[in-house]
Amino acid sequence: MMISTVTGHFEDFNTTTETGNKDFIDADFHFTAKTGSINTKNGDRDKHLKSDDFFDADPNPEIIFESKSFDGSTLVGDLTIRDTTKEIDLDVDFNRMAVGPYGQTKAGFEMSGAINRKDFNLSWSAITETGSIAVSDTVKLSIDLQFTKE
């Protein structure tokens, strides 16, 4: 049994997409996040996440996602964490394209999925005094993106 859900985000990240279609079918998506920029609003926990127990941020400075396919609702791609690459699926809601107040065309997406952290060598574990697991194997991914047309 888990105690509570911890949320966090990466402060330093980059995303790009390239498409020839207005519906983004078969678009190419690329995400990177600097592992040293993890922020869970708890300095001790963030330091632990950057350590060899989890991201090992110094020799593994980036998390990388490269898409392989997008059918409009599922984004399939390779996720690399700690030099381990696995194919993952993300559920996608393409909110829409719109022209903003400054004349820029923008597209918004909401993506979600889950990974098993142990698949990426994030294997630290601890049991509390009452027998509860301190860290779940499942990591929920929630990604909100807005792209500006160039």
CATH topology of domain 9-148: Lipocalin (2.40.128)
- By residue count, the chain amounts to 150
Q: What is the pTM of this model?
A: 0.90
Q: How far is CA 9 from CA 132, 137, 142, in A?
A: 25, 18, 9
Per-residue pLDDT tens digits of the chain, which is 150 residues long: 456 788 999 999 999 999 988 888 889 999 999 999 999 999 999 999 999 999 999 999 999 999 999 999 999 999 999 999 999 999 999 998 899 889 999 999 999 999 999 999 998 877 666 666 678 889 999 999 999 988
SS3 68: strand
Q: What are the domain boundaries of the chain?
A: 9-148
**Which is nearest to 8 in space by CA: 104, 135, 96, 121?**
135
Distant-in-sequence, close-in-space partners of 81: CB < 8 Å, separation ≥ 6: 55, 60, 63, 120, 121, 122
